[in-house]
Amino acid sequence: MSHASRTADIEELVDELIALYLAQAADLREYAQAAVAGEGTVHLKRTLRHREVQRADLYCQFEQAAFPVSPALDLADQT
């Protein structure tokens, strides 16, 4: 993969992570408001869990793209 392509992929993943973090913050705010108002929160809990799974997956993709491990470096870290 070319350097430019790799950089573009990383930038796209960062943009997706930012959007997801903002959505999670909005979800948490909505959850807190619903809880204080005594409203149902089951669907909000599901949404929060789903977004956290998405965030973890995206972050793994970001780590793999941004910090590729070469076999030689991996072996050096284990010693």
At which residue do the structure tokens 């284990």 appear? 78
Over residues 20-64, the pLDDT tens digits come to 999 999 999 999 999 999 998 899 999 999 999 999 999 999 999
Residue 76's pLDDT band (boundaries 50, 70, 90)? low
How many independent structural domains does the chain possess?
A: 1
**Single pTM value for the model:** 0.75
User: 48 and 27 in contact (C-beta within 8 Å)?
Assistant: yes
Residue 3: the pLDDT is 83
Residue 1: the pLDDT is 63
Over residues 1-14, the pLDDT tens digits come to 688 888 999 999 99
Which domain covers residue 11, as residue numbers?
3-77
